[in-house]
A and B are shown apart, each in its own frame.
Chain A
């Protein structure tokens, strides 16, 4: 099976051709946004982090920024630093440069203030966009695709319609030699024993239990009942009672493929096939982690409806609730609610989603892309000092 994508220098394939303006700290974020606002075809990744972080939390943010710049959907990167921040701009630029794509780096303190930095940034990014606009899509194998699977604003239809349908889609991609990632560790609590049976070896099963235990431990350490946040008020209103029930419904997105490995947040899979990545249940942080891990496309199921998109990859929105499809028609691409009210089969719905995925790979714009939904956030696991 073939799709049309951009072949990058390191052999990976992008389905979009973005120029990314990547601030290494919150201090450089506004400047990155100003640069991008003047350059058609560029997208900034403003964030709240990049300084005064320590330990694993620091490493994770660093890994995520590098991973985002390295994503195959990104043709070239302009790294923008303040100059003095904890996440070193030159280190981020050098790491992304290893992919073979054009990378340049400027700092606000180095260039000398907002106005000059914006001018220089616009000049560099403008040149990058013009060069990238010469690139053409080529026919490539579907096995080059890494799909990130997400759910958000779940309700009772998620577990019975949208998620099982996406599970079918995932299985189709794996059968074609591709890769898919399940995420949101919080939403594995109560269902991890079922997933663990699919691990290709005991070490993978062990790692799965470990990431779930790590997440649950966070609630214990804080002395809180996780029901304060999971399930969410919307989940509850939609009929989901406990995190266990939510998780059991969530894991249907994972289809039936064997689990090759368990990835840290923003880690690249070692090979093809199905993986689980440790991300939080919060949608935007979760998607960001999978993009940093190389996912070129996201399929996102939602019972209640959400507009969430991403700056670097197309997000295909699927709902199992026909009322939500009608209510938020601006934001939802596929209605899997037909399974419930029209009796179409899971297989038919899964194939519809798969066909949409291929079209989006080849250039069809998702509703989130059209409305410029570029939600972006990096998962933090430590405080800022």
Chain B
């Protein structure tokens, strides 16, 4: 089984693929001190992310141990996580009440 994913931090709810993954593929991943096996439910291109657990719409998406955005739809475990289901919370001059995180 190839080692092909990386989660930077134990708080992360997404991992990054270090190789192209086919739908249904199982891969080995470092998680904190140990490893775990994960299965992707979609094809995940090199460098792209998928969900380590189910993420609810409106829930923060966490990578590097930090919030990188908010889920805009229900995301199932193993699903591709990207612009189609994640929105940025910053630089949103399009929103009526701009959020400033300090």
Contacts and interface: CB of A to CB of B under 8 A. Distances in A.
Contacts of B8: 160
Contact of A160 (B6, B81, B83, B93): B6
Nearest to A323: B46
A271 interface: no
Nearest to B8: A160
B93 A225 contact: yes
Interface residues of A, number: 37
Interface string A146-166: 000000000111011000000
Given A239-B49, A241-B49, A241-B69, A159 B64 contact: yes
Nearest to A223: B93
B68 A245 contact: yes
B88 A227 contact: yes
A209 B100 CA distance: 11
Interface string B69-102: 1000000000001110011111111110010111
Contact of A216 (B6, B45, B91, B94): B91
Query: Chain A's interface: helix, strand, loop or mixed, by majority?
Result: helix
Interface magnitude class on chain B:
20 to 34
Contacts of B46: 156, 239
A194 interface: yes
Contacts of A156: 16, 46-49
Given A190-B66, A245-B69, A248-B63, A239 B88 contact: no
A242 B87 CA distance: 7
Interface string A209-227: 1000100100111111111
Contacts, number: 105
A45 to B, nearest CB: 31
B93 A221 contact: yes
B16 A239 contact: yes
Contacts of A209: 102
A244 B48 contact: no
Name the residue in B66, B88, B89 with the highest tally of chain A Cβ atoms < 10 Å from its Cβ. B88
A236 interface: yes
A220 B91 CA distance: 7
Given A190-B68, A223-B93, A241 B83 contact: yes
Nearest to A215: B91
A181 interface: no
A191 interface: yes
Contacts of B61: 241
Nearest to A240: B47
B18 interface: yes
A222 B94 CA distance: 9
Interface in B18-68: 18, 45-49, 61, 63-64, 66-68
Interface string A191-202: 101100000000
Contacts of B87: 227, 242
Contacts of B68: 190, 241-242, 244-245, 248
A102 interface: no
Given A213-B100, A220-B93, A321-B47, 18 more contacts: A156-B16, A156-B48, A190-B67, A190-B90, A190-B101, A213-B102, A220-B98, A223-B94, A225-B91, A225-B92, A225-B93, A230-B91, A241-B49, A242-B90, A243-B91, A244-B67, A248-B63, A248-B66
Interface of B: 6, 8, 16, 18, 45-49, 61, 63-64, 66-69, 81-83, 86-95, 98, 100-102
The 5 nearest A-B residue pairs measured at CB = A226-B91, A156-B47, A239-B47, A225-B94, A242-B88
